[in-house]
Structure 1
Amino acid sequence: MSLRIVLDDRPLPRRVGLVTLATDHTTEVDFSVLPARGIGVYAARIPFANPVTPERLAAMAGDVTAAAALILPDEPLDAVVYSCTSASVVIGDDAVRAAIRAGKPGTVAVTPISAGFAALRALGADRVTLLTPYVAETAQPMADCFEAGGFALHGVSSLGLADDRDMARLSHGTIVDAARAAVAPGSQALFVACTAVRACAIIDRIEDAVGVPVVSANSATLWAAARACGATGPIAPGQLMRVP
């Protein structure tokens, strides 16, 4: 008896690559909602050693292209996400996206900064409160980046953590309480920085607490990557996910 072997085109019709930090506990979990929408998620990890300081973040610049190229080599991806907010600022958002495209030509290159800015603009928010888990020397360049991007910052709050593994351990209750304390009068939205912070799955709770739309680093990149793959409609909690 001979067996006729039939190969499908690909296991899932659309594909997203993640370049995550070696220490990341959170991004892959947040992106696990995509396979149910027919979008595969494939990750490569990039070397990183704490603490989260501008110097340590900048050291990742030379590894982005190789990490992107490692994700399903010689196969196309619809989008590649570099999952580090603060490094996107320190290295330079344009430089990070160029490095992604050098490793995966033709892909949509996504960072938390490019996606976050697009998300806030899609929500009609230009007066923004920024909440970060970082120490001051890491938070300040991000605040400067938001202002350079055309946003009026109505408050910047930082939790003073230097280890991204601790950032990933922040309880949901702590995140909600920090958001409530951070949001300043007149702010049209809250941006929660850091892909390690487990805010994406509880955006609706945070929005109920603060009374304005909330965008987290991972909700922004998830939204951007899903839209690059043609997915529409809510894929996670929050007002952003209802935006086309």
Structure 2
Amino acid sequence: MKGWRARLGFLVPPGNPTVEPEMQALAPQGVSLHFTRMTASGPAGTHEGQEERNRSQIDSIESCSALLAMVSPQVIVMAHTATSYTLGSAAEAALVARIEQLSGTRFITAFGSVLAALEHLNVRRIAYATPYNEVTTLQGKRHLEEQGIEVVSYGQLANVRNIYEENDERAYAIARAVDRPDADAVFLSGVGMPTLDALQVLENDLGKPVISAASAMMWNALRVAGVQHSHSGYGRLLS
């Protein structure tokens, strides 16, 4: 650990080109980031086959976490929100406990980080936006509601060919589309869709917190690792 404030490990879906650059953009000096890919077959980033890919990824989490544990990170992050939606609340909690026991390392999920961020911001009612299909979006809505979060509105991007081909402008557009006056905050799910550059602009325009799975998981990973750091330009959660 000499010379480093902390090491963070990330389990990334195969084919996702977004997580590494977005996490690097948010990492403070002295924090090293380490990535490994979960295992899944079939085309990456498409709506078709997403549930099957999620289940394949779940099967690989133990072995992938063991690889990351070899660099002695303070925390390992499952950097994929839709995998939590496939698992459901009870299975996700069991997975976290099992990986922590096997790896000897704190293990957090992107979705669990979102819940922690919402609690930190004192948010109970949200507008919820995704790049997923309707089925996966509704899985996420149920998962949020099971945790006591009221989803006052929701929606998903239209005409998605591949989630990994989306951009911040599209993230901005869907967040604006789902926002409602009675939502305390807006949540953008999906770490494969770039969101960071849209967050501050959205907060300025909407006048409320806007978080994404990406911003929440870095915020939570640093918090769990004991690193105090503020980062302006990406919304009030990180600042």
- Pairwise same-fold verdict (TM > 0.5): yes
Among 207, 224, 231, the residue aligned to 1:228: 224
Of 13, 16, 28 in structure 1, the residue corresponding to residue 8 of structure 2 is 16
Amino acid at match of 1:145: H
CA distance in 2, matches of 1:118, 1:168: 26
Q: Which residue of 2 is the match for residue 43 of structure 1? A: 35
2:238 alignment partner, SS class: helix
The number of residues matched between the two structures is 230
Among candidates 97, 100, 107, match of residue 109 of structure 1: 107
Shift, 1:167, TM fit: 1.9
Alignment of 1:91-110 (within 5 A): 91-92=87-88, 93-105=92-104, 107-110=105-108
Query: Does the alignment pair 1:66 with 2:63?
Result: yes
Deviation at 1:45, TM superposition (A): 0.5
Partner of 2:211: 215
Q: Which moved more, 1:54-63 or 1:177-186?
A: 54-63
Q: Which runs of 5+ in 2 are unaligned?
A: none
- 2:81 pairs with one of 85, 109, 113: 85
Equivalent-residue separation in structure 1 for 2:85 and 2:22 (angstroms)? 22
Task: For residues 120-150 of structure 1, give each alpha carbon's deviation from its aligned partner in whole angstroms, at most 9, with x where no partner exists.
Answer: 1111110111101100111111100011110
DSSP 3-state at the match of 2:127: strand
Which of 141, 147, 157 pairs up with 1:149? 147
Percent identity between matched residues is: 23
C-alpha contact 2:8 2:33 (8 A) present in aligned 1: yes
Long gaps (5+) in structure 1: 1-8
Note closer, same or farther for the CA distance 1:34–1:187 as it changes in structure 2 (3 Å cut): closer
Contact 2:51 2:86 in 1 (8 A): yes
Equivalent residue number for residue 136 of structure 1: 134
Which structure has the greater CA radius of gyration? 1
CA-atom RMSD, angstroms? 2.0
**Shift of the alpha carbon at 1:11?**
5.1
Distance apart, 1:103 and its partner CA: 4.5
Contact 1:131 1:156 in 2 (8 A): yes
What amino acid maps onto 2:36 in structure 1?
A
Residue 121 (structure 1) aligns with: 119
After superposing the two structures, state which structure 1 stretch, 194-203 or 125-134, moved more.
Answer: 194-203
AA partner of residue 226 (structure 2): G
Instruction: Look up the SS of the partner of 1:71 in the other structure.
Output: helix
Give the alignment's TM-score, normalised by structure 1: 0.86
